[in-house]
Amino acid sequence: MLPSLHDDFVVSYEVNCETRQIKLHTRPDPRDAAKREQRPCTIVFNGVEGYQFEDDAFGNIVFSLAVVSIEQVLAEYGYAIAESYRMAGAPGPWAADLATAAQVLAEKGVKGFILSSSYGLSGWVLAKEALVDPT
């Protein structure tokens, strides 16, 4: 289960294309008394099959990071995924046919994740897992 990142700040994110891994680094709002004792958090997405982050405001505040169905990601972002595939071949061959994409991704053990923001960065990730990095 992922921790609540509500009102946390996005510090940075890293994309490693070779290992198909994304690291999302956040930190609690130090002005929030309830979160003062919490440490920064890193969510590691492994087995990434595709992602898109947009609207980086260089001061991003998370509303939520939710685990969702592949179908929900495709329903909400399918048009942009299809267009990205048409223009650049991204995010991968599964995007060539969105009618079968959910089944192809499910067979690989992929899950959907949606990052919603209160301010700034938002997007989606399709990956096999999302873990909290203990370091």
Q: Is residue 13 part of a domain?
A: yes
Q: Is residue 2 part of a domain?
A: no
Is 41 within the bounds of a domain?
A: yes
Total residues belonging to the chain:
135
- In a domain? residue 77: yes
- pTM to 2 decimal places: 0.94
Full domain range(s) for residue 67: 9-132
Number of independent structural domains in the chain: 1
Residue among 92, 115, 76, 122 nearest 20 (CA): 92
In a domain, 4, yes or no: no
Q: What does the pLDDT profile of the chain (135 residues) look like in tens digits?
A: 899 999 999 999 999 999 999 999 999 988 877 777 788 999 999 999 999 999 999 999 999 999 999 999 999 999 999 999 999 999 999 999 999 999 999 999 999 999 999 999 999 999 999 999 966
In a domain, 72, yes or no: yes
Name the strand (E) or helix (H) holding 64. Answer: strand 61-68
Task: Give residue 18's pLDDT.
Answer: 97
Whether residue 75 is contained in a domain is answered as yes
Domain assignment present for 88: yes
> Which DSSP state fits 102?
H
